[in-house]
Structure 1
Amino acid sequence: MLWKSIGIIFAVLTVYVLLSATVFHYLEQPNEVLVKNHTRDFHLDFLRKYPCIPQDELELFVQRVLKSYDMGVVATATTTSESNWDFASSFFFSATVVTTIGYGNIAPNTMAGKVICIFCALCGIPLCTVFLAAIGQKLRFPITKLQEKMITGRSHRILRCVKVCLCVVLGSTLLILLPSVMFTLVEGWHYGVSVYYSVVTLTTIGFGDYVAGLQAVPYRDLYRAVNGVWVVLGLAWVALIVSEITGDINDKIVKNELKCSKNVSETVKTLSYRLNDMPSVAPVTSWHSGSL
């Protein structure tokens, strides 16, 4: 890829990120300020209502609760959260590591666990990438067959566009819209939140603000197993779409670069022929030596 193409892609990406940052800034900052004000007012009202509690003791209590929450533990005098490190939860965490989703709601806290996580990521991510690529190839076969039945005798570019559209429409329906119904029913989320969670998960962004399977729902282990199968198929589908789109873009870039290189080669060849056809001129040094 030529540096010109790299520069164009970098410029487009930079503008895209800047526009996205602008939108997020104007959408999210006012809500953040509102939440901060409400939280501060609640804090002050609590201290006024219970003046016997020292403010520094309350601050220490809040910090300890937040620290436990960051470790994935929610415990009060009457309730406690489900274990984050039983076998099913540990398997779920390992899967989020090798798939690079990394929700961030739980993480190893012991030094031994951190070391094992490093080796799990370094060895598991390449294996998972190869596995997802293989699954993506299997998903490509039925889509190609459907494409051949729908359109025949068309150019390669039209066929690729049809394949990408089929991948997006079918995949979005089967792996985002329908699973979001399941998340809405089981988790109690709004359907829009479920769609948001599905997209964030399958694109391996994994913010961790919503994670399926944390609640004590019936058949929790089975639900997590189904969720794991969905993640594998969804990641393979996303990899397939990215492969198709980037493949088309790379083909265009390579074609333009080959065309540019061919034009440069023909220009150099033409100049070479013209120089060879020019009459030879005696060197200046020989003319001076002859005159002497």
Structure 2
Amino acid sequence: MLWKSIGILFVVLAVYILLSATVFHFLEQPHEILVKNLTRDFHMEFLRKFPCLPQDELEVFVQRVLKSYDMGVVATATKTSETNWDFASSFFFSATVVTTIGYGNIAPNTLAGKIICIFCALCGIPLCTVFLAAIGQKLRFPITKLQEKMITGRSHRVLRCVKVCLCVVLGSTLLIFLPSVMFTLAEGWHYGVSVYYSVVTLTTIGFGDYVAGVQAVPYRDLYRAVNGVWVVLGLAWVALIISEMTGDINDKIVKNEMRCSKSVSETDRKDKEHEMTSLDTESIENVLVK
């Protein structure tokens, strides 16, 4: 790819990020300030109702609760969270590591667990990438067949655009909008939140503000297993879309490289012909001189 094209892409990406940051700034900061004020007011009202409780001890209590919550543990007098490290949850965590989702709601706390996590990531991420690419190739086959039935006799670029559109529409329906119905029913989320969770997960952003299967739901192990299968298929679909969308760029790069190699070969051939012509001319001149 030419440096000019890279520069244009960089400018477009930078402008896109700046615009997104501006929107997030004006949407989220007022809500954050409101929550801070309400929390501070609740804190002061609590201290006024219970003046016998020292403020510094309350602060220690809140910090301990927050620290436990950051570790994925909720343990109060009336509520205890489900374990995060039963086999199903551990399997789910390992899947989030090798797929680079990394929700962040749970993480290993022991030194041995952190070391195992390192090896799990270093060996599992390349293996998972190859596996997802293979699954993506299998998903491409039915899309290609459907594309051939819908449209024929068009240029390669038109066919590629049709294939990308089919991938986006069918994949979004089967892997985002329909699974979001399941999350809405199982987790009690708003449907928009479920769609948000699906997109954040399948794009491997994984903020961790919403994680399926954390709450105690019926058939929790089976639910998490189905969720794992959905993650694998969804990531393969995203990889397929990226591959198809970058196909034209890769083709252009290959064509430019072939064009450059042909021009270099042509230049070398002309140089050799020029050298041969010069040698022949010198030979003829030497013969004439003799």
TM-score by length of 1: 0.88
Can you list the C-alpha shifts for 1:237-282, whole angstroms capped at 9, x where unaligned?
00000000011233245546766x599879x89xx9xx99xxxxxx
Match of 2:249 in 1: 249
Match of 1:281 in 2: none
Pick which of 247-256 and 17-26 moved more: 247-256
Structure-2 separation of matches of 1:60 and 1:80? 20
2:21 aligned with 1:18: no
DSSP-derived class of the 1:209 partner: coil
Matched AA of 2:96: T
Map 1:198-277 to 2 at 5 A: 198-255=198-255, 261=260
Q: Please, which runs of 5 or more residues in structure 1 have no aligned partner?
A: 277-292
Match of 2:54 in 1: 54
2:94 aligned with 1:94: yes
Match of 1:161 in 2: 161
DSSP-derived class of the 1:39 partner: helix
Instruction: Give the C-alpha shift of residue 186 in structure 1.
Output: 0.5
Match of 1:282 in 2: none
Instruction: Give the C-alpha shift of residue 127 in structure 1.
Output: 0.3
2:45 aligned with 1:45: yes
Map 1:96-135 to 2 at 5 A: 96-135=96-135
Instruction: Give the C-alpha shift of residue 78 in structure 1.
Output: 2.0
Matched AA of 1:170: L
Match of 1:83 in 2: 83
DSSP-derived class of the 1:168 partner: helix
Structure-1 separation of matches of 2:81 and 2:104? 17
Structure-2 separation of matches of 1:20 and 1:46? 38
Match of 1:143 in 2: 143
Structure-1 separation of matches of 2:129 and 2:161? 25
Q: How many residues align?
A: 272
When the two chains are superposed, the root-mean-square deviation of aligned CA atoms in Å is 2.1
* Contact 1:186 1:217 survives alignment (8 Å): yes
DSSP-derived class of the 1:195 partner: helix
Match of 2:174 in 1: 174
* Contact 1:71 1:106 survives alignment (8 Å): yes
Matched AA of 1:32: E
Change (3 A) 1:192 1:13: same
Q: Please, which runs of 5 or more residues in structure 2 have no aligned partner?
A: 276-290
TM-score by length of 2: 0.88
Structure-2 separation of matches of 1:265 and 1:19? 43
Matched AA of 2:160: R
Can you list the C-alpha shifts for 1:94-149, whole angstroms capped at 9, x where unaligned?
00000000000000001110000000000000000000000000000000000001
Q: Percent identity?
A: 87
Instruction: Give the C-alpha shift of residue 194 in structure 1.
Output: 0.2
* Contact 1:101 1:205 survives alignment (8 Å): yes
Instruction: Give the C-alpha shift of residue 11 in structure 1.
Output: 1.6
Matched AA of 1:114: K
* Contact 1:183 1:212 survives alignment (8 Å): yes
DSSP-derived class of the 2:218 partner: coil
Can you list the C-alpha shifts for 1:38-60, whole angstroms capped at 9, x where unaligned?
11111111111111111000000
Structure-1 separation of matches of 2:225 and 2:115? 26
Structure-2 separation of matches of 1:98 and 1:129? 9
Structure-2 separation of matches of 1:130 and 1:168? 22
Match of 1:279 in 2: none
